[in-house]
């Protein structure tokens, strides 16, 4: 059986981690790397603001090479698309045929990704698309996934949630209208343990800071 050489878009969060777990259960998929956009000014994962050294530890525990895309801060769309074009060229040269994403239900985001890859020779794949997020969040926890909240949008969720562990108590404390997986951008996470990793990572929440309208917990 021919296996599809696949890259996974890797935000460092729980949804990416769960997508990795699901892809590994598909016998026709050969995962070849994790793709992460890194803010070159701060050496942190774009949007999640996770330290680059934590990202590298995470990829090592996942047993996959990290494909970093360096982007400026701020990053105009043209710069992002140029970085993606470079990624596509490299991927095709490595025999990659698919690019996987951990999106759940945002149709506009999915449509953008499909459009970005149209005609490139890379097929977009969405392994956890359409899963009910309340059930999915519980499934993640039952399987042993562990994550910390690294970013909160204070317009949608109390900043006090920054730095908290993503667990049953966290889910119970979420106010009505907040998606259990944060798919609307209410919060972002950093995954540190679970069936997709060889060994858990030691993570300590540090200072909580506000920047660019978001609240971040500086994980170490």
Q: Please report, for the chain, the start and end positions of each structural domain, with discontinuous segments joined by +.
A: 4-125, 143-219
Percent of the chain with pLDDT over 70: 97
Query: 80 with 47: CB under 8 angstroms?
Result: no
Tens digit of pLDDT for each residue in 109-168?
Answer: 999 999 999 999 999 999 999 999 999 999 999 999 999 999 999 999 999 999 999 999
**Helix (H) / strand (E) containing 142:** helix 133-142
User: Helix, strand, coil shares of the chain as percentages rounded to 5?
Assistant: 30, 25, 40
Q: Report the Cα–Cα distance between both ends of the chain, in Å, rounded.
A: 42
**Under 8 Å CB-to-CB from 154, ≥6 apart: which residues?**
210, 213, 214, 215
Predicted confidence (pLDDT) per residue in 14-55, tens digit = 999 999 999 999 999 999 999 999 987 677 887 778 999 999
Which backbone phi and psi does 160 adopt, to 5 degrees?
Answer: -65, -15
pLDDT in tens, 84-107: 888 999 999 999 999 999 999 999
Cα–Cα distance measured from residue 49 to residue 219, given in angstroms and rounded to the nearest whole number = 9
What CATH homologous superfamily does 4-125 map to? HUPs (3.40.50.620)
Strand-pairing partners, residue 51, are 44
What pairs with residue 124 in β-bridges? 99
Is the omega angle on the peptide bond into residue 74 within 30 degrees of 0, that is, cis?
Answer: yes
* Residue 74, CA distances (Å) to 32, 70, 84, 112, 208 in order: 29, 12, 16, 20, 21
**Residue 39: its pLDDT value, please?**
86
Residue 1 has pLDDT above 90, yes or no: no
Which stretches of the chain are DSSP H helices?
14-23, 52-62, 77-93, 107-117, 133-142, 168-173
């Amino acid at each position: 059986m021919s296996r599809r050489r696949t890259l996974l878009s890797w935000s460092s969060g729980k949804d990416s981690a769960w997508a990795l777990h699901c892809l590994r259960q598909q016998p026709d998929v050969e995962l070849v790397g994790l793709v992460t956009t890194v803010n070159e000014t701060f050496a942190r994962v774009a949007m999640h603001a996770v330290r680059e050294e934590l990202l590298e530890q995470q990829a090592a525990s996942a047993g996959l090479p990290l494909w970093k895309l360096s982007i400026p801060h701020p990053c105009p769309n043209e710069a992002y698309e140029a970085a993606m074009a470079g990624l596509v060229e490299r991927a095709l040269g490595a025999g990659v045929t698919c690019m996987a994403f951990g999106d759940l239900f945002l149709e506009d985001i999915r449509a953008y990704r499909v459009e970005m890859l149209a005609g490139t020779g890379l097929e977009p794949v969405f392994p956890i698309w359409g899963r009910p997020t309340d059930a999915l969040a519980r499934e993640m926890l039952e399987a042993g996934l562990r994550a910390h909240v690294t970013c909160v949008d204070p317009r949608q969720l109390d900043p006090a949630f920054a730095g908290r562990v993503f667990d049953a108590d966290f889910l119970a404390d979420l106010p009505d209208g907040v998606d259990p997986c944060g798919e609307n951008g209410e919060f972002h996470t950093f995954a540190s343990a679970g069936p997709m990793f060889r060994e858990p990572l030691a993570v300590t929440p540090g200072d909580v800071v506000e920047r660019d309208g978001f609240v971040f917990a500086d994980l170490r």
